Amino acid sequence: MTKRVYLSAILIVQCSILFAQVKLRENMFIEKLPNGLDVLVVEDNSTPLATVMITFKAGPFTETPQTNGLSALYQNMIFRANKDYSTSLDLRFSADRLGMELMNTSGTEECTKAFFTLPKINIDTGLVFMNNCIRYPKIDIDDLEKEKQADENQLLGKESNPFYTLNIATLHHLWGNQFYRKLPIGNREAIHSATRQLLIDSVKNKYYYPNNALLIVAGDVNHEAVFKKVRAIYGSWKSSISDPFKKWPVAELKPLKKADYFIVESQLARTPILAISWQGPDTRNDVHSTYAADVFSYIMNQNSSRLSKALIQSGLALRVNVNYLTLKRVGPITITIVPNPEKVKECIQEIKKQIALMDSDDYVTDEQIATAKRILEIHQIREEEITTDYVHVLSFWWASASINYFMTYNDNLKKITRGDLQAYVRRYIKEKPFCAGLLTGPGQKAGLNVESFFTANN
């Protein structure tokens, strides 16, 4: 046995031991190739289809102000031309012949992904197709300009929503000069000035390696056959010489130091919108609080919650939503409120009062806690029903936590107590630095006289 084969055999054994600790469903199977590629197979014979998705730990959290948006831009280029298809048109014709549907790319703050669904009979060819798209993209200059324009159109679409104005302002105030690390769509200047070489240097050559990727094959497939085929196709893909995140360390996000109030105006806004945000827990440093955050958010969003009664049923607000996004690098907590335009001041005063009460013993009931756990459990079960959607859920958790985090989610959710909810509120919300922004429409700012009550001194 050669040294290379011997080391590969050791790695396979080590990976088998590691994955043996992962609690998978009966129809799920996982394997790590010697080059570090994680391969997850989900068997579902309900329809004769198969979905192929590859995910990388890349995105805005790895970018700089000069490269913000390039991860998404590069990802969009992989379904253009490559070594087997000289033009995008050739690639699309091949995809049509294979019966592909939903061929697309997407991403979040902490991952980028490419995926398609096709008839199960074409799964082997589909795996080759994805391999060539990922490993050998052509990045044609004309195609790059088309993608830039597509990104511009997407950005224009987002800017047509007045809430986007509030969201961007919130990112600036909550994350300071690191706001771009929470902005997957990127910024115009970086995208417009992107070159082929810059894409390769800042994205492909840094993060597009098998030891930083997850390949999911889900649908009417046999896991043993898939693993065999993946080894043959992707086994020659060379891993990075060193861990990308050790070679290019990602800086920690800076904590918010004090309360920060701001007002933004939009010509498109028809009613005021209030957003209050905190820096919450993450899956690296406080996993337990991420479960508490989900339970607490669910309870707050119910009509029976004290928050809803105090704001909506009292007539102070038209809508209120509490949201926490689980991430590996600081997930945000946000309370979004549509206040009664005639009672904005009173609404803000009441939300401050409610925040001060959120850790009290009687703020939530035992029944609310039990119901939240049960509904969240049901929600996860429903996520598994449609395989073409389920792959997105799995890829998100692989990047932002781990597959095991998701598989043990309900078990850990059941352990959450009232004390955990109180600890979560005290650690991340009550009397903690936050940013609060109010979106107003044309003329509303003066009419509401918001400066008289929406200031850092109040």
pLDDT tens per residue across span 223-263: 999 999 999 999 999 999 999 999 999 999 999 999 999 99
Q: Which residues pair with 115 in a beta bridge?
A: 53, 104
Give the pLDDT band of residue 199 (cuts 50, 70, 90).
Answer: very high
Q: What is the pLDDT of residue 337?
A: 97
Q: Which pLDDT value is given to residue 176?
A: 96
* Cα–Cα distances in angstroms (integers) from residue 203 to residues 11, 61, 154, 212, 247, in the given order: 27, 12, 21, 12, 14
Report the sign of the C-alpha dihedral through residues 103, 109, 111, 112, in that order: positive
pLDDT at residue 375 greater than cutoff 70 = yes
Please state whether the predicted TM-score (pTM) of the whole model is above 0.85.
yes
- Please write the tens of the pLDDT for every residue from 147-189: 999 999 999 999 888 889 999 999 999 999 999 999 999 999 9
Q: Please say if the pLDDT value at position 96 is more than 70.
A: yes
Distance CA 262, CA 333 (A): 17
Q: What is the pLDDT of residue 451?
A: 57
pLDDT of 336 above 70: yes
Mean pLDDT in residue range 392-413: 96
The proportion of the chain whose per-residue pLDDT surpasses 70, expressed as a percent, equals: 92
| Contact partners, residue 412, CB within 8 Å, separation at least 6 | 288, 291
pLDDT(309) > 70? yes
Mean pLDDT, rounded, of the chain = 91
pLDDT at 35: 97
Q: Measured between alpha carbons, how far is residue 39 from residues 4, 25, 161, 337 in Å?
A: 21, 15, 38, 42
> At residue 115, does pLDDT exceed 70?
yes
Q: What is residue 455's predicted lDDT score, i.e. its pLDDT?
A: 56
The 3-state DSSP class for residue 1 equals coil
DSSP-derived letter for residue 110 is S
Model pLDDT, residue 456: 46
- Reported as type and span, the H/E element at residue 356 is helix 344-357
Quote the pLDDT of residue 445: 63
Confidence of residue 8 (pLDDT cuts 50, 70, 90): very low
* Amino acid, single-letter form, for residue 135: R
- Measured distance CA(235)–CA(334) in Å, rounded: 43
Residues 59-94: tens digit of each pLDDT = 999 999 999 999 999 999 999 999 999 999 999 999
**Domains within the chain, CATH numbers bracketed:** 3-247 (3.30.830.10), 260-452 (3.30.830.10)
Residue 103 has a pLDDT of: 86
pLDDT for residue 213: 98
